[in-house]
């Protein structure tokens, strides 16, 4: 049974090895409350792979989190772009 009190967390998030910026570190900060998880990943200290993503999800079981995300970044042309999607995280 999960604790219903909110728990804050911080750390480092590594991007997917198969994405456009493979295994790039991002700052991560978020909160877990019961089965709900909310966190933000950011990379602002460099111009390459700079993105901010907000993730919202729930714990499916103790080792799996299903999320949706909204990521915002600036394309090389200078145009601001927003991408939405889903992701499932599994403890390894």
**pLDDT (tens digit, 9 = 90+) per residue, 32-45?**
999 999 999 999 88
Give me the pLDDT at residue 1, please.
45
Specify the higher pLDDT residue, 2 or 62: 62
CATH number for the domain spanning 85: value is 2.40.128.30
Q: pTM for this structure?
A: 0.83
pLDDT (tens digit per residue) in 50-92: 899 999 999 999 899 999 999 998 887 889 999 999 999 988 7
What SS3 state is found at 48? coil
Give me the pLDDT at residue 67, please.
97
* 22 CB neighbour count, 10 Å cutoff: 11
Domain count of the fold of the chain: 1
Residue 1 lies in a domain: no
Residue 65 lies in a domain: yes
Range of the structural domain that residue 16 is part of:
6-90
């Amino acid at each position: 049974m999960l604790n219903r009190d909110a728990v804050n967390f911080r750390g480092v998030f590594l991007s997917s090895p198969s994405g456009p910026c493979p295994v790039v570190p991002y700052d991560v900060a978020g909160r877990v409350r019961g089965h709900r998880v909310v966190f933000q990943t950011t990379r602002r200290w460099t111009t390459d792979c700079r993105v901010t993503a907000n993730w919202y999800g729930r714990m499916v079981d103790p080792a799996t989190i299903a999320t949706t995300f909204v990521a915002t970044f600036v394309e090389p042309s200078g145009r601001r772009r927003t991408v939405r999607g889903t992701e499932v995280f599994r403890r390894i």
